[in-house]
Structure 1
C-alpha cells in the first residue's frame, strides 16, 4: 500500500475516534459505514456494532481521550485494510476526515497527520507519529582476517 493511502487511513481513523461521543458522531458514523458498502452485510453490521461499542466506551469513560487512543489502532487497521482492498474510497475518507476536523471545536479536533521523510544516498530515516520510537545501532566490527565478514557482539 502506498504511503499516501496509509496516511489517509490514519487521518480517517483519527477523525472517527475524535468524533466519538460528540455532536458530530452520528454523521461521522454514517459516513464511515458508507465507505464499507461493498462488503457483505454481516461484516458491515459487525463494524457498526464495533463503532457503537467504541463510542459507548468513550462516552462512559472518565478519561475519554485515553479510550480514543486505545481504539485508534483498531480503526486505523480497519481503514488500512479497506483501502488496501480497494483504494476508490480514498477521496471520500479524506473528505470525511476534513469535515470532522472542521466540525469539531479546535481543541477537540481530529488532528490530521502528515509526514514526509526522505533519505538520500546512504541516509537512513527513522520516523514515527503518535508513539515512541526506540532505535539503536551497533557499530560494525572490522572484518575478521581472511573471512570478509564482520564479527559482531
Structure 2
C-alpha cells in the first residue's frame, strides 16, 4: 500500500471516530457502509455491526475521547485494508473525510499537518512528517 493511501485511511479513521455520537454520525456511518459495500456485501454487514457497537461505546463512555482514541487504530486498519482491496474507493473516502471533517465542530476536528520543504543552491533535504527517516550510514 502506498503512503498516500495509508495517510488517507488514517484521516478517514480520524473522521469516523470523531463523528461517533455526534449529529453527523448517521450520514458518516452510511457513507462508510457504502464504501465497504462496494467490495463485499458480507463484509459490509460485519462492518455495520462494528460501527454500531463502537458508536454505542462512545455514546455511553464517561470519557468519549478515550474511547475514540482507542478505536482510531482499528478503523485506520479497516480502511487501509479496504483501500488495498479497492483503491478506486480513495476518491469517495477523501470526499467523506473532507466533508465530515469540515462539518465537525472545531473541538472535534483532527489536526491537519502541512509541511513544505524547499532546497536551493544544490542543497539536499531529508524530511519526514509521519514515520521514520533512515539515511545511508545510519543505524535504526
TM-score (norm 1): 0.74
Structure 2 residue 77 is matched with structure 1 residue 53: no
Aligned residue pairs, count: 129
Structure-2 change in CA distance of 1:36 and 1:78 (3 Å): same
Structure 1 residue 38: Cα displacement? 2.6
2-structure distance, mates of 1:72, 1:25: 15
Is the 1:36–1:44 contact (alpha carbons within 8 Å) kept by the matching residues of 2?
A: yes
Larger radius of gyration: 1
Q: Which has the higher helix share?
A: 2
2:13 maps to which residue? 13
Q: Once structures 1 and 2 are overlaid, which stretch shifts more, 7-16 or 95-104?
A: 95-104
2:106 maps to which residue? 106
Which secondary structure state, in structure 2, belongs to the residue aligned with residue 82 of structure 1?
helix
Is the 1:117–1:127 contact (alpha carbons within 8 Å) kept by the matching residues of 2?
A: no
2-structure distance, mates of 1:86, 1:54: 24
Structure 2 residue 87 is matched with structure 1 residue 87: yes
2-structure distance, mates of 1:45, 1:57: 19
Structure-2 change in CA distance of 1:103 and 1:117 (3 Å): closer
2:135 maps to which residue? none
Matches for 1:2-151 after TM superposition, within 5 Å? 2-109=2-109, 111=110, 113-114=112-113, 127-128=130-131
Structure-2 change in CA distance of 1:56 and 1:71 (3 Å): same
1-structure distance, mates of 2:93, 2:105: 20
Unpaired runs of 5+ residues, structure 1, are 134-138, 141-153
Unpaired runs of 5+ residues, structure 2, are 118-122, 133-137
TM-score (norm 2): 0.80
Structure-2 change in CA distance of 1:112 and 1:124 (3 Å): closer
1-structure distance, mates of 2:115, 2:127: 13
Which secondary structure state, in structure 2, belongs to the residue aligned with residue 6 of structure 1?
helix
